[in-house]
Amino acid sequence: MNPLDERQLAGYLFWKGVRGFFRRLFGRFIYSADERAIMDLFDDGCALQVQGKAREAIAAYDGIVQRFGSSDAPRIRKLIAKTLLNKSFTLWGLGKREEAIAVCDDLDRRFGNDESPDMREIVADALSIKDMALWHDTNKRIAVDDEIIQRFGSDKSPGIRERVAEALFHKGYALECSNKVEEAIAIYDELVQRFGDDKSPGVREAVAGTLITKGIALKNQGKTGDAIAVYDDIVKRFGNDRLLGRIVAKAQEYRKSLTE
């Protein structure tokens, strides 16, 4: 995670203070003492993380897990899972891939069988971080992509659907980088078929990114007409979506380069 700019950081720390104030004022009526303590410590770790103090944040997260990691209380379990998730992401950001993977695996061992929607989303997020950490190992990465697709492919949660779409894209791209272009295109097509009508912004971005990647792959194969059709499809699907304007502009640029 990159450090926030001064305005963003000030806003984050302001709302951290507001949360802490109301937790101290009313929290005793809602949360146990341990729940209030872990919430405060988790906020402290997140504050260090967004300030770019990665090593201090990791130490804070380790302290949380050491102190509360054996709790059976649902709210505390959820915060332990989020703590491990944040730690894995921070380690990945530091380039400590193997350590990040180990934390993701620990999170999955602890919470992978929890069927609550919030916990399933956290576990899916952890596997996505593991996927990124394995970027250098195509076979292992594809295995993680397949695991995400198999375990979470039927979930209806927008956050989890986004992770499944990303896993399909990552699998396709890994295959393409391994010169298995036809297999990659088949995966891209599967993603678009499964998620092409999804209204979630994150999933729509995955679909648009997949289509433009497919267009490039087709162009590189000399299939100019097919590539143009894909770029036209991007404009048709997403031309009015301001959030995807950059991808649409790229599709128009690539199409123009093929017709000049």
In this structure, what CATH number is given to the domain that contains residue 173? 1.25.40.10
Considering only CA atoms, which of 171, 105, 185, 111 is closest in space to residue 138?
A: 171
Joined tokens for residue 234: 């991007």
Task: Name the domain boundary from 98, 133, 168.
Answer: 133
CB 206 within 8 Å of CB 190: no
Considering only CA atoms, which of 95, 103, 9 is closest in space to residue 64?
A: 103
111 and 154 assigned to the same domain? no
Say what the pLDDT of residue 35 is.
85
Task: State the chain's mean pLDDT as an integer.
Answer: 89
pLDDT tens digit sequence for 116-133: 999 999 999 999 999 999
Task: Name the domain boundary from 133, 168, 187.
Answer: 133
73 and 102 assigned to the same domain? yes
pLDDT at position 195 over 80: yes
**Mean of pLDDT values over 220-247:** 96
188 and 149 assigned to the same domain? yes
Separation in Å, CA 55 to CA 31, 50, 107, 197: 29, 12, 19, 42
CB 83 within 8 Å of CB 42: yes
DSSP 8-state code for residue 120 = H
71 and 87 assigned to the same domain? yes
62 and 156 assigned to the same domain? no
238 and 129 assigned to the same domain? no
Mention every residue, 6+ apart, whose C-beta is less than 8 A from residue 175: 142, 181, 183, 184, 187
The beta-carbon contacts of 7-11 under 8 Å, at least 24 apart in sequence, are 8/50, 9/50, 9/51
CB 254 within 8 Å of CB 245: no
Q: For the chain, what is the largest distance between any 2 Cα atoms, rounded to a whole number of angstroms?
A: 69
183 and 71 assigned to the same domain? no
79 and 140 assigned to the same domain? no
pLDDT at position 205 over 80: yes
44 and 120 assigned to the same domain? yes
Say what the pLDDT of residue 260 is.
79
Say what the pLDDT of residue 5 is.
45
pLDDT tens digit sequence for 19-34: 454 444 445 445 678 8
Task: Name the domain boundary from 101, 133, 165.
Answer: 133
Q: pLDDT tier at 37 (50, 70, 90 boundaries)?
A: confident
66 and 125 assigned to the same domain? yes
74 and 173 assigned to the same domain? no
Q: What percentage of the chain has pLDDT greater than the value 90?
A: 78
| Angle at 16 (CA atoms; ends 15, 22), nearest 5 degrees | 85
57 and 162 assigned to the same domain? no
Domain tally for the chain? Answer: 2
Say what the pLDDT of residue 49 is.
86
Residue 241's CB is within 10 A of a number of other CB atoms, namely 14
Domain span including residue 256: 136-260
